[in-house]
Amino acid sequence: MTVTERQQLAYVDAQAAEGRVNVELETDEGMVINLGPQHPATHGTLRITAKLDGEQVVWADVVPGYMHRGYEKLTEVRTYPQITTLVNRIDWLGSFANEVPFILAAERLMEIEAPPRARHIRTILFEMARIANIVLFLGDLGVQLGAVTPAFYAFRDREHVLDQIEAVTGGRFHPNFDRIGGLRDDLPKGWVADTKAVMARIRDFCDEVEALLFGNEIFQARTRGVGVIPPEVALSYGLTGANLRATGVDWDLRRDGDVGLAHREVDWRVWTHPDGDSFARCWVRLQETREATGIVDQLCDGLPGGPIMAKVPRIIKVPAGEAYVATENPLGVTGYYLVSKGDLGPFRVKIRSASFSNVSIVPWLLRGVYVPDIITILASLYFILGDIDR
């Protein structure tokens, strides 16, 4: 029997590997483990390198960029109406919410205001994008913590929201529906009644998840006190959205901002939680989903009549100038800094996406936690890869 060179190499390599593993176990060096870019917990291609001492994390680092698609650069070679198609794909679970701040920024430069009906429908779709997004978060939370079943309920009930979005816009995920000066179309017949039924369903789903997950002892043991963020740290890292509100900072651009959406015309409240741990983040999101269904219901009731499109020239040229508009998107504050030189397309667009800032706190949070807590923290911080890498 002859030993091939390949077998020899394999043997040498195996010996070396064994030696290396031994060294890593026996010295104080610890073991560096790669979570991602291909890993079930990163829902996408986020890479986290963590040095472990047994099951404990010594340090961890986030390596984003595996999904960079260059949207900021691509916008420079597109016309304004084309760009909504692109920005749709940043936070792909709540796509409509991405279009809104960009369109609002362009409208601000053009000094156009959308008619009240368009503003209302915009807000309805904006909140429905939030619901579609966070419902999936609530389901995925279970999967990350080892309970597979809630995910299926989430997918089941999210589908109804997506159906309603599809009925208006024609697209389940990528509506491409917002236009400078208004919306592409009006609502279809009977849509309002259907939507209210769906919202009731989502409220049932929230109750179901609250009973299944939030009331579960193991879930509480896994999330309470894990990944605690103090408010000042959250602010210094630029955390926004539910992650910030879960630290007790009462700040929501839907209420505190000055953008032209209809949130201030309805009755709702901003939820905060004093703890700042993983449980607080999940809990705030759950309450926000409930609140969002209420917003949609009220807006559907008080839908004003009139046109859905303001007077806008056929060929859109945005006058020279700069504008920054940020809205409270499902993942946090998403802002578009738009620089125009008066052309058909923007000169430069800087996108401030919520997940990028939210993930930046991960290395700070992961020091000293156990391996299972990495997953809890990542799941509760809730990021979308497209929103990190753009």
Partner 1 sequence: MTASLLAIELAYWQQTVLRSVGVLAAVLLLAGTLVYVFLFKMMSFMQSRLGPMEAGPYGSMQLLAEVGKWIQKEDIIPWRADRRLFAMAPYVVVLAVFLILAAVPFGPDAWFTDLDVGIFYVLAVSSISVLGILLAGWASANKYSLLGGLRAAGQLIAYELPMVLAVVGVVIQAGTLNMQGIVAAQADGEIFGFSGIGNPYIITQFVGFFIFLVSMQAELTQAPFDMPIAESELVSGYMTEYSGMRFLLFFIAEFASVGAFSAVAATLFLGGWALPGMDLDADYMNVVGPIVLLVKIMLVSFVVFWVRFTYPRFREDQLQQLAWKFLIPLSLVNILATMALKVAW
Instruction: List residues near partner 1 by CB under 8 A.
Output: 10, 13-14, 16-18, 21, 31, 33, 39-41, 52, 55, 142-149, 152-153, 156, 212-213, 216, 218-219, 221-222, 370-375
Q: Minimum Å distance from CB 372 to partner 1?
A: 5
Nearest-angstrom CA–CA distance, 17 and 216: 42
Closest to partner 1 by CB, 28 or 267: 28
Q: Minimum Å distance from CB 248 to partner 1?
A: 25
Q: Minimum Å distance from CB 159 to partner 1?
A: 11
Residue of 268, 264, 271, 229 whose CA lies nearest to 250: 271
Q: Find the radius of gyration of the CA atoms of the chain.
A: 23
DSSP state of 66: T
Q: Minimum Å distance from CB 1 to partner 1?
A: 15
Residue of 338, 326, 303 whose CA lies nearest to 256: 326
Cα angle value 289/290/293 (rounded, 5°): 90
Q: Minimum Å distance from CB 209 to partner 1?
A: 12
Beta strands in the chain (DSSP E): 31-35, 47-53, 56-63, 178-179, 182-183, 321-329, 332-340, 348-352
The position carrying tokens 């529906």 is: 177
Torsion of CA 302, 304, 305, 307, to 10 degrees: -140
Torsion of CA 103, 105, 109, 112, to 10 degrees: 50
- CA distance between the termini of the chain: 56
Closest to partner 1 by CB, 142 or 346: 142
Closest to partner 1 by CB, 251 or 370: 370
Q: Minimum Å distance from CB 224 to partner 1?
A: 12
Q: Minimum Å distance from CB 221 to partner 1?
A: 6
Closest to partner 1 by CB, 207 or 343: 207
DSSP state of 344: S
Closest to partner 1 by CB, 40 or 302: 40
Specify the amino acid at residue 283. Answer: W
Closest to partner 1 by CB, 200 or 211: 211
Q: Minimum Å distance from CB 24 to partner 1?
A: 9
Q: Minimum Å distance from CB 204 to partner 1?
A: 13
Tokens of 141: 């939370």
Where does 302-366 have alpha helices with state H? 354-359, 362-366
Q: Which residues contact 151 (CB under 8 A, 6 or more apart)?
A: 139, 140, 142, 143
Closest to partner 1 by CB, 147 or 316: 147
Closest to partner 1 by CB, 127 or 373: 373
Residues in the chain: 390
Nearest-angstrom CA–CA distance, 327 and 260: 10
Specify the amino acid at residue 297. Answer: D
Closest to partner 1 by CB, 66 or 191: 66
The position carrying tokens 């409208």 is: 107
